[in-house]
């Protein structure tokens, strides 16, 4: 008798800046929780942020993060995320940072590091994005970020200080 696979803890960022943003994000959470092999374990509060990059004049974003348990391999989980985006009206225009009804980014898949075409985990830009780190800090404040070698909370604090034009003075 074979042992069933153990679930992997994954973290997904969610964002929307078109339509009824809150309803779209909450619907995406429900869809993920109903997907075979996936169980949503925790959801962060929603945070409203101004767009970063992309076309001028686009609406503000509602952002959050969720932690889930997945029996699916990372590539299959990504397929579920993309299908949920499409089901919620996501259209890829080929314009970088264009407005969207729903964006689901796989931030972490357990402690795995994955570098495949179309799938990079941990997400390559998460350590530079306050709008990702803020909700992530509500779920996993002490999670280690491999690129900067800091916890989520430490990195969030560092970026917040930098955004204000402040820098920590060297010790001594």
What digits encode the pLDDT tens for the residues 3-48?
Answer: 557 899 999 999 999 999 999 999 999 999 999 999 999 999 999 9
Q: Which of 75, 97, 103, 129 is catalytic?
A: 103
Whether 103 is catalytic: yes
Whether 105 is catalytic: yes
CATH of the domain at 88: 3.30.70.560
> 138-160: per-residue pLDDT in tens?
999 999 998 788 899 999 988 88
Whether 30 is catalytic: no
For position 50, what pLDDT does the model report? 85
Residue 170 falls inside a structural domain: no
> 50-98: per-residue pLDDT in tens?
888 777 888 888 999 999 999 999 999 999 999 999 899 877 766 676 6
- Give the largest Cα separation in the chain, rounded: 62
Mean pLDDT of the chain: 87
Residue 136 falls inside a structural domain: no
State the total domains in the chain. 1
Q: Which range of residues forms the domain containing residue 69?
A: 8-124
Residue 74 falls inside a structural domain: yes
For position 126, what pLDDT does the model report? 87
**pTM for the structure as a whole:** 0.88
For position 46, what pLDDT does the model report? 94
Asked if pLDDT for residue 2 goes beyond 60, the answer is no
């Amino acid at each position: 008798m074979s042992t069933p696979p153990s679930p992997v803890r994954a973290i997904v960022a969610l964002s929307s800046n078109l339509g009824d943003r809150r309803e779209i994000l909450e619907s995406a959470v429900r869809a993920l929780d109903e997907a075979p092999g996936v169980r949503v374990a925790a959801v962060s509060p929603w945070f409203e942020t101004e767009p970063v990059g992309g076309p001028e004049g686009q609406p503000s974003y509602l952002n959050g993060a969720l932690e889930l348990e997945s029996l699916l391999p990372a590539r299959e989980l990504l397929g579920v995320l993309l299908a949920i985006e499409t089901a919620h009206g996501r259209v890829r225009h080929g314009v970088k940072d264009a407005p969207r009804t729903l964006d689901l980014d796989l931030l972490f898949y357990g402690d795995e590091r994955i570098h495949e075409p179309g799938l990079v985990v941990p997400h390559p830009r998460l350590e530079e994005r306050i709008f990702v780190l803020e909700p992530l800090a509500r779920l996993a404040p002490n999670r280690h970020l491999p690129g900067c070698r800091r916890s989520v909370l430490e990195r969030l604090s560092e970026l917040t200080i930098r955004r204000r034009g402040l820098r920590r003075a060297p010790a001594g």
